[in-house]
Amino acid sequence: MSKLVIDMMGSDLGSAMSKEAVRIFHSVHPDCSLILVGKQDELADMKDFTIIPADDVVSMEMGALEVLRKKDSSMVKAIEAVLSEKADGVVSAGSTGAFLSASTLILRKIPGVIRPALVTSFPNLKAGGFTTVLDVGASNANTPEELAQFAFMGSIYAEKVNKIKSPRVALLSNGSEEGKGSPESKEAYKLLKEDARIRFVGNLEGSQLLSDGADVVVTDGYSGNVMLKSIEGAAKGMSGLLKKAFKRNFWSKIGYLLTKKGFKEMKETLDPKKTGGALLLGINGVVVKAHGNSTPEAFKNAMELAYRLSEAHVVDALKAGFFA
Amino acid sequence: MSKLVIDMMGSDLGSAMSKEAVRIFHSVHPDCSLILVGKQDELADMKDFTIIPADDVVSMEMGALEVLRKKDSSMVKAIEAVLSEKADGVVSAGSTGAFLSASTLILRKIPGVIRPALVTSFPNLKAGGFTTVLDVGASNANTPEELAQFAFMGSIYAEKVNKIKSPRVALLSNGSEEGKGSPESKEAYKLLKEDARIRFVGNLEGSQLLSDGADVVVTDGYSGNVMLKSIEGAAKGMSGLLKKAFKRNFWSKIGYLLTKKGFKEMKETLDPKKTGGALLLGINGVVVKAHGNSTPEAFKNAMELAYRLSEAHVVDALKAGFFA
């Protein structure tokens, strides 16, 4: 049975949002034990759950180093509760930098992991399902050895969570040929070619990411973050153009009514809220970061993601992988 | 009066495509003098233009080093003709790596330029017009000093070609705060803050690229290429979903007919063929790379781009800038 700790105060939208998310999640997964961390008066109506009081809140602007001084914050107390309450993991919508560094320092890396990676999923528009991408921003730069480890961790993740047997692992690059790539990715290519534990399929260009190019895509945190945000921006820009096309005149508005259902499906396929957020891989515990401006549904999906990771015993699988 | 050299053989689609492009371009710009380079028998029907015969063709797979041994190729002869015929520039749809390295070696860098950059334009979906992005793939990695020079070159380009007074220059980054970025971009930030010649507006995230975040966006060639291709892939993926939404049933097909005009406009806004291709900045001459699978219209647009660069005296402006 899974046990998760929830930082109730991290989001831009306050505890009303996270309380609603917790209620929805609990109605779907009554078997999952939840520990809520936050201001006692704001959580007074959540008596069905274990409450850990925390008076302070980590602001969105707070950096990686400042957070540890915030010992009474809901974020730090939530992470610490993973250890003290023997929970499987923690979910927060607070500052990414603060959450990643506090999680790493408090829960510590799995022995053998050089550097944890922030993982997210992109929809595979061709074959359905999802493509796992890491790192999307835990680091600003990565060594070839770190990239090679990301490939291994991502492969275990895709197998355990996305249930893909022998997942195809690719290196993000500026060309599909072997000689292409940043200096670091070129060196990583050599390491991955020799790694018998994974199914390495070579370089992949950004254009192939959404079209079934691979099951796991490995990149340094800087380029990965640029890619993630560029795709988000492109999708948003196109949605704007789409709206404009529909609002053009009377007939196009009728046209919208006739095609609405199809577009709703399309929007859902692309909705980043559906994946619920990103997770930090390589840590002793499930660490899921929800979007800062999460709706109750998005925050609930982040909790779902943490639950899936916990039920799939991803952390144990990684530990076993690095021990082998 | 501008004079351009055209590599007629570089494209995947052969000389029939480029001949049609030349005819269209010539009908619009009869004042521009054109020199066509390619197989004499294939160009026999192009007697209105100066022809330079070239028996060989550089293949799409050919790398940067091999091309120079192909002395009889249309690509190498076209680049050499910029010097021998005192032309303003050259257009080719051939292998990017080969074209960039041969252009750099034959035409040479403008004195003071550390490294040329591949430049492309993204549509500004919010304010209209275009955003200039460099480098999108001439290099695999760049030093802070190279990034700072890209900012200066891009600023001159946006002013001369896009006619933007005092263009806003931003550094692509994984966060908008000053401390964010790759190790190289963080150092470049410091250099750009001190550079009085440009209007530096700080870091820009990939999500802001299409929404009027800046007029010039500076990035290393690896991340820039990843971004370019990710956005292309996202746009293609969304177009596919769009088609699916319209083909859903009888009513959605009617809906398509009612909204067709608006979608045509949308498609045109996003069409990479409209920008015609990428150009290499920092070289003694206008160097424009058309897409390898260019249609006649796309190749003609690449010629238009070269023409605009030539008429705007971008190379002279860069030389003056580096001399100052």
ipTM of the complex: 0.83
- Split at pLDDT 50, 70, 90, the class of B68 is confident
CB pairs under 8 A between A and B: 195
A226/B229 CB distance under 8 A = no
What are the structural domain ranges in chain B? Answer: 1-113+282-324, 115-275
Amino acid B262: pLDDT: 75
- CATH 3.30.750.200 assigned to B115-275: no
- Split at pLDDT 50, 70, 90, the class of A277 is confident
Contacts of B238 in chain A (CB under 8 A): 234-235, 238, 266, 270
CATH number for the region A1-111+282-293 comes to 3.40.718.10
Amino acid B281: pLDDT: 97
b/e B72-110 (16+ beta carbons within 10 angstroms → b): ebbbbbbbbbbeeeebbbbbbbbbbbbbbbbbbebbeeb
Amino acid A273: pLDDT: 66
CB A87 within 8 A of CB A284: no
d(CA A9, CA A299): 12
pLDDT higher at B124 or A52: A52
d(CA B224, CA B133): 8
- By the 10 Å C-beta count (0-12 exposed, 13-18 middle, 19+ buried), A61 is classed as exposed
The mean-pLDDT minimum among A149-163, A235-249, B188-202 falls in A235-249
Amino acid B189: pLDDT: 97
- Tokens standing for A166? 């022998």
CB A290 within 8 A of CB A277: yes
Mean pLDDT rounded to a whole number for chain A? 91
Fold of A114-280: Isopropylmalate Dehydrogenase (3.40.718)
Whether the pLDDT of residue A28 is over 70: the answer is yes
Whether the pLDDT of residue A76 is over 80: the answer is yes
How many Å lie between the alpha carbon of A16 and the closest alpha carbon of chain B? 28
The torsion defined by the Cα of A273, A276, A278 and A282, in degrees rounded to 10, comes to: -170
B259/A251 CB distance under 8 A = yes
B255/A255 CB distance under 8 A = yes
d(CA B6, CA A162): 50
Whether the pLDDT of residue B272 is over 70: the answer is no
Whether the pLDDT of residue A272 is over 70: the answer is no
CA gyration radius, chain B: 20
Instruction: Using CA coordinates, name the residue in chain B closest to A137.
Output: B174
Amino acid B175: pLDDT: 86
Taking residues A177-182, report their average pLDDT: 88
Amino acid A74: pLDDT: 95
**HSE-CB of B288 using CA atoms within 13 angstroms:** 30
The model's pTM: 0.89
A259/B244 CB distance under 8 A = no
Within chain A, strands assigned E span 3-7, 33-38, 50-53, 89-92, 117-123, 130-134, 168-173, 199-205, 216-218, 278-281, 286-289
Amino acid B23: pLDDT: 97
pLDDT higher at A293 or A146: A146
The torsion defined by the Cα of A179, A185, A186 and A188, in degrees rounded to 10, comes to: -130
Whether the pLDDT of residue A16 is over 90: the answer is yes
Amino acid A269: pLDDT: 73
Whether the pLDDT of residue A279 is over 80: the answer is yes
pLDDT higher at B277 or B189: B189
- Split at pLDDT 50, 70, 90, the class of B11 is confident
Strands of the sheet with A278-281, listed across from one edge: A50-53, A33-38, A3-7, A89-92, A286-289, A278-281, A117-123, A130-134, A216-218, A168-173, A199-205
Eight-class DSSP state of B67? G
Instruction: Using CA coordinates, name the residue in chain A closest to B63.
Output: A179
Taking residues B312-323, report their average pLDDT: 93
Of B179, B208, B259, Cβ closest to residue A246: B259
Contacts of B125 in chain A (CB under 8 A): 237, 240-241
pLDDT higher at B280 or B60: B280
Q: Hey, do A1-111+282-293 and A114-280 end up sharing a CATH topology, with the first three levels equal?
A: yes
Which CATH architecture does the domain made up of B1-113+282-324 adopt? 3-Layer(aba) Sandwich (3.40)
CA gyration radius, chain A: 20
